Amino acid sequence: MAPAGQKKVSRIHVQLSVCTPSHAKLSSFFILFNTNVTNFYATCALPQGILERLDAGEVVIGDGGFVFALEKRGYVQAGPWTPEAAAEHPEAVRQLHREFLRAGANVMQTFTFYASDDKLENRGNKQRFTGQQINEAACDLAREVANEGDALVAGGVSQTPSYLSCKSEDEVKAIFMKQIEVFVKKNVDFLIAEYFEHVEEAEWAVQVLKTTGKPVAASLCIGPDGDLNRVSPGDCAVRLVNAGAHIVGINCHFDPETCLKTVKLMMEGVKKAGLKAHFMIQPLAYHTPDCGCQGFIDLPEFPFSLEPRILTRWDMQKYAREAYNAGIRYIGGCCGFEPYHTRALAEELAPERGFLPAGSEKHGNWGSSLALHTKPWVRARARRDYWETLKPASGRPMCPSMSTPDSWGVTKGHADLMQQKEATSQEQLKALFDKAAHSH
């Protein structure tokens, strides 16, 4: 759509570096900016690598969670949460990548979450595609969309049922190696080991990832109380840096506020150990003030009744600002994030990044586009102070505001966590139903 030989971009350093004396002023500038200007064409520099960006102090916006978003769209199965849609429904995965790109994401994570063979075959989760097929398809989709804008491709691995079932270090590492081989072949830009509940398994993953020579990020799904063996966030971070990770942080399981608290503990730990690292944060888009050490998995609403907990875009802007102020530069999202959540991060950090995302083309900051609404009382909401202070009602007077999390207190090595290829039997289910009935 851009004129020949040019590329449509949104980055206009000069203009904005002039007019950012304060955050408050900038907001009103953007309102004008948005409603008057729609497209910019300019010569665009090649994207830099992840470490160059972070070393330069640039903000890197991560994308959002795929399994939750695609389950809602009809392409991922709740329960196993495996990514066979990358091979089976590429148009749906491509579209979601594109939406996150348009929302301002600088990273396209390959849709390879839980794409290890042991997980793909777990508990009767029959597949028509091999792990290799899925991993390859996911790499191709991420690269295709990344090339539509200014984004890097990150190959991702995550925790394995094998570890929970007490397989050996060699066995677990072999599983990661199989995925890595695809990432190397497809030449992703960097690697992420994410969603680990045990720092030990994450260390193993980092050690495998390091063999590629590519930049490595490592992200745990733990809270301020530490990993499931109660290793503190500070100690976890130190161990991951020592294992070779360039970027460490937190993803999933907890809301932005809790994740922020945890990353801060990681930062303190790394600093105290005399080490250096970059930090990342990719929280849930759900409020979880009431969760225990396993986060939202333990909440009774997981995964099918989390709706009332979904963050608004204004919650997201607050989170982005606080993460930035804490010194975190890789700021993204995980389960529950829809493209508009990511867009809110990019809009909040537009002053720092120097541009608004493509998806904001027709959008105004802080609700300014409501100035075009038919009804005058809705136009009266086209302002920051309205949305920033609103306490949104749940519309559910019969419901509480907090829940009591399940706390079965089992972790790696517990018999209840042993994984199996065959489907959960009716007898196994009945035993669990009975146990649940007694725990309440």
Binding to a copy of itself (CB under 8 A) within 220-279 occurs at 255
Minimal distance, residue 107 CB to a copy of itself, in Å: 17
Residues 234/265, Cβ–Cβ less than 8 Å: yes
How far, in Å, are 6, 96, 251 from residue 107 at the CA level? 22, 13, 15
- 19-27, 137-145, 228-236, 339-347 -> range binding a copy of itself (CB under 8 A): 339-347
96 or 237, CB closer to a copy of itself? 96
- 50-58, 123-131, 181-189, 269-277 -> range binding a copy of itself (CB under 8 A): 123-131
347 binds a copy of itself (CB under 8 A): no
- 4-12, 210-218, 317-325, 372-380 -> range binding a copy of itself (CB under 8 A): 372-380
Among 133, 352, 371, 412, binds a copy of itself (CB under 8 A): 371
- Give the residue from 185, 186, 244 showing the smallest Cα distance to 210: 244
416 binds a copy of itself (CB under 8 A): yes
Q: Which of residues 94-113 bind a copy of itself (CB under 8 A)?
A: 95, 98-99, 102-103
Phi, psi of 223 (to 5 degrees): -110, -170
Minimal distance, residue 80 CB to a copy of itself, in Å: 5
183 or 296, CB closer to a copy of itself? 296
Q: Which of residues 279-338 bind a copy of itself (CB under 8 A)?
A: 286-290, 294, 297-314, 338
Among 92, 138, 206, 245, binds a copy of itself (CB under 8 A): 92
Among 6, 25, 41, 79, binds a copy of itself (CB under 8 A): 79
How many whole angstroms separate alpha carbon 165 and alpha carbon 21?
56
435 binds a copy of itself (CB under 8 A): yes
133 binds a copy of itself (CB under 8 A): no
Backbone CA torsion sign across 314, 323, 22, 365: negative
How many whole angstroms separate alpha carbon 61 and alpha carbon 100?
10
188 or 320, CB closer to a copy of itself? 320
Place of tokens 């009103």: 28
SS (H, E, C) 241-275: HHHCCCEEEEECCCCHHHHHHHHHHHHHHHHHCCC
Minimal distance, residue 406 CB to a copy of itself, in Å: 5
**How many Cα atoms sit within 13 Å of 279 on the Cβ side?**
28
Angle (CA) 187-192-193 rounded to 5° is: 130
Among 41, 410, 413, 421, binds a copy of itself (CB under 8 A): 410
Q: How many residues bind a copy of itself (CB under 8 A)?
A: 107
44 or 371, CB closer to a copy of itself? 371
Q: Which of residues 351-370 bind a copy of itself (CB under 8 A)?
A: 358-359, 362-364, 367, 369-370
How far, in Å, are 254, 288, 309 from residue 257 at the CA level? 8, 9, 13
221 is in an annotated binding site: no
| CB environment 270-297: b (16+ within 10 A), e (fewer) | beebeeebbbbbbbbbbbbebbbbbbbe
Query: DSSP string of 91-148?
Result: HHHHHHHHHHHHTT-SEEE-S-TT-SHHHHTGGG---SS-HHHHHHHHHHHHHHHHTT
122 binds a copy of itself (CB under 8 A): yes
Among 91, 274, 325, 427, binds a copy of itself (CB under 8 A): 91
388 binds a copy of itself (CB under 8 A): no
Minimal distance, residue 134 CB to a copy of itself, in Å: 14
Backbone CA torsion sign across 350, 356, 357, 362: positive
Q: Which of residues 18-47 bind a copy of itself (CB under 8 A)?
A: 35, 38
43 or 377, CB closer to a copy of itself? 377
401 binds a copy of itself (CB under 8 A): yes
71 binds a copy of itself (CB under 8 A): yes
Residues 332/281, Cβ–Cβ less than 8 Å: yes
335 is in an annotated binding site: yes
How far, in Å, are 9, 31, 129 from residue 2 at the CA level? 9, 24, 38
Q: Which of residues 156-195 bind a copy of itself (CB under 8 A)?
A: 161, 164
Residues 114/135, Cβ–Cβ less than 8 Å: no
Which are the contacts of 26, defined by CB distance < 8 A and separation ≥ 6? Answer: 19, 20, 350, 351
* Residues tagged in the binding site annotation for Zn(2+): 252, 334-335
List binding-site positions. 252, 334-335
